[in-house]
Amino acid sequence: MKEEIKGLAGFLIAGLGAAAALLAWAPLARVNVEGGFEGRHRDLSVLYVDLPLVAAGGALVPLAFWMLALRRFHRPWVAALAAVTAVALGLWGLTSWWSPYQAPEFGY
């Protein structure tokens, strides 16, 4: 496999990882963007704090695994497998551990 194609494949994996992370993150952040009951608990900080971090993590983690596996094993299919595994584990961690802050609905 040519070096240009390996580089292009790495960037493709990074783009797909960022898109997958954003698609997994969006339903979790919907509550903060819409605001809950009558929009009282709207918190748009998820858009300017969490959105860039999730997109960057979704792009950089699979790209790092792609580069490390490609450097170590010199086989593109092993590097692709490592990157896909990193995306899957990253999405699992994102959806199971991250949850945006939700204020109580009624403050008594």
The more confidently predicted of residues 102 and 4 is 4
Question: Per-residue confidence at 42, pLDDT binned at 50, 70, 90?
Answer: confident
**Helix or strand or coil: residue 41?**
coil
Phi-psi domain of 35 (left: phi exceeds 0; alpha: psi -120 through 50; beta: other): left
- What does pTM read for this prediction? 0.83
> Is residue 37 over pLDDT 70?
no
pLDDT greater at residue 42 or residue 69? 69
The pLDDT score that the predictor gives to residue 92 is: 94
46-72 pLDDT tens trace: 899 989 999 999 999 999 999 999 999
